[in-house]
């Protein structure tokens, strides 16, 4: 796990993957917003990057957590991004308006942080 994010043209595995972005540490979570061609990735150092897969441009980069980003998800309206971290927090960002944090929830009691292995996060489907 070298922190490299590649995009492969499936089902042609013989083609070399296109480099989308690179982190300084392993990528821990990812979510794809198909309508916007955006891929959000969270890393071991708490950094989030949002990359446009159509042109490989990095649209956003910010520090989301003090520790690993264990889960990440776009909401169905494509306005918000949720992240869950090993710091026991779930953060909600308005990524359309410049990554402003709009909410932060404590998901794990402070004494239990050492037990966090996986903290998935998701939004319900839009109606």
Q: What is the mean pLDDT of the chain?
A: 78
Q: What is the pLDDT of residues 18-66, one digit of tens each?
A: 666 667 788 888 898 867 888 899 999 999 988 888 888 888 889 999 9
Q: Which residues contact 40 (CB under 8 A, 6 or more apart)?
A: 30, 31, 32, 33, 48, 49, 50, 51, 72, 74, 81, 95
Structure tokens belonging to residue 89: 């927090």
Position with higher pLDDT, 2 vs 58: 58
Domain locations along the chain: 19-115
Topology annotation, domain 19-115 = Lipocalin (2.40.128)
> 120 in helix, strand or coil?
coil
> 71 in helix, strand or coil?
strand
Give percent above pLDDT 90 in the chain.
17
């Amino acid at each position: 796990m070298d922190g490299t994010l590649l995009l492969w043209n499936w089902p042609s595995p013989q083609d070399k993957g296109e480099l989308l972005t690179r982190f300084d540490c392993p990528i821990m979570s990812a979510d794809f917003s198909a309508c916007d061609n955006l891929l959000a990735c969270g890393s071991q150092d708490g950094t989030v990057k949002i990359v446009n897969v159509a042109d490989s441009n990095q649209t956003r980069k910010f520090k989301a957590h003090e520790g690993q980003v264990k889960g990440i998800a776009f909401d169905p309206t494509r306005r918000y991004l949720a992240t869950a971290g090993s710091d026991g927090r779930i953060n909600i960002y308005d990524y359309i308006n410049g990554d402003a944090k709009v909410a932060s929830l404590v998901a794990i009691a402070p004494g239990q942080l050492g037990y966090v292995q996986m903290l998935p996060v998701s939004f319900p489907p839009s109606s």
